[in-house]
Copies of this chain bind each other. A is one copy, B any other.
Amino acid sequence: MAEALPGPRMRPHVKAHKCTALAGWQADAGHRTFTCATVREMVGMAAAGLGDDLLLANEVLDCRPLGALDDARVTVAVDSLETIAAAADGGVREVLVDVNVGLPRCGCDPDDAGRIADEARRRGLEVRGVMGYEGHVVGLEDRDERVRQVEEAMAQLVRAHEDVGGDVVSAGGTGTYDINRWATEIQAGSYALMDTAYGKLQLPFRQALFLWSTVISTSPGWAVADAGLKSLGMDHGNPTLDGGKVWFCSDEHITFAPEPGREVKVGDRVRVVPAHVDPTVAYHEVMHLVRGDEVIDTWPVDLRGW
């Protein structure tokens, strides 16, 4: 990613990994501006010395912990009078106007962006520009369709930017990092670890996050590994499992059918590939960095919680 989008062209989203150690590797690769989804992620990144330029790409109504950060440059997304007031009252100095570009979530109507910016400036806030996340597009498997819809979404953001001003047009995700040429910076996060959902898009990023779990029971036709719903984000469905077909997950179990001819024994380790990396990582206290069978380092997932 650092080759495709060097330096500030890429603003890695830490919500995907919630890990300052991994963010430190991204910073070493030249990406020293970061995107966050929660106040705790912002505070944790600042505490880890990674606060050169932190964007909270989300609306919050209590910005006081952000205003209290001494050693970080903090920018917050706003899309309403209430979130502007929260930023100003909380001691935040810089904002982006969050614009809805087609995903029914946060962000103002593009036609309102100029008015939001005016109000922010009236409250003494520096408006750095706009952001608008094409989240309804990033996962489309057909690349041509992805290209077409990114252009459509970004036309709205560009139009809003004209009314808002500022240097920053922040948008994009792992599925559109090389397509979104309207954004001045890309907010991708999943590329660092990847998952089976993004794996379908044939991007040049490999899956790096796995659960190594242990077979604890076998029966004729199936086996059970000791990972389950409490260690896997399930909104994208079941994980996949190397050498077997997943039948279903329980709280602490994955029941799977081993591939024909493959013998699975109690005590065997099996590799599970999460379907959605972000809510998977959020269940875990640590990630183990491995090379082959060797654990090289253990990283706290120190940005989780709220």
Contacts and interface: CB of A to CB of B under 8 A. Distances in A.
B250 A217 contact: no
A217 B105 contact: yes
A235 B224 contact: no
Contact of A266 (B82, B217, B304): B82
Contact of A61 (B38, B58, B216, B235): B216
Contact of A214 (B61, B229, B230): B61
Nearest to A281: B230
Interface in A45-66: 58-61
Name which of A107, A249, A253 has the most chain B CB atoms within 10 A of its CB: A253
B218 A229 contact: no
Contacts of A15: 251-252
A242 to B, nearest CB: 20
A79 B109 contact: no
Contact of A230 (B104, B218, B247, B278): B278
A37 interface: yes
Copies per assembly: 2
Interface residues of A, number: 51
Interface in A146-181: none
Nearest to A286: B305
A38 B253 CA distance: 11
A266 B116 CA distance: 15
B252 A217 contact: no
A70 to B, nearest CB: 25
A290 B247 CA distance: 39
Contacts of A233: 229-230, 234
Interface in A209-264: 214, 216-219, 221-222, 224, 226, 229-231, 233-235, 247, 249-253, 255
A33 interface: no
Given A83-B217, A104-B221, 17 more contacts: A58-B216, A58-B226, A59-B224, A59-B226, A61-B266, A83-B266, A100-B219, A104-B247, A105-B224, A107-B217, A107-B219, A109-B219, A229-B235, A229-B276, A229-B278, A234-B235, A251-B279
26 contacts: A15-B251, A37-B251, A59-B217, A61-B216, A61-B266, A80-B218, A82-B266, A83-B216, A83-B266, A100-B219, A104-B219, A104-B221, A104-B222, A105-B224, A105-B250, A105-B255, A106-B253, A107-B219, A229-B233, A229-B278, A231-B306, A233-B234, A234-B235, A234-B279, A251-B279, A283-B283
Interface of A: 15, 37-38, 58-61, 79-80, 82-83, 100, 104-107, 109, 135, 214, 216-219, 221-222, 224, 226, 229-231, 233-235, 247, 249-253, 255, 266-267, 276, 278-279, 282-283, 285, 304-306
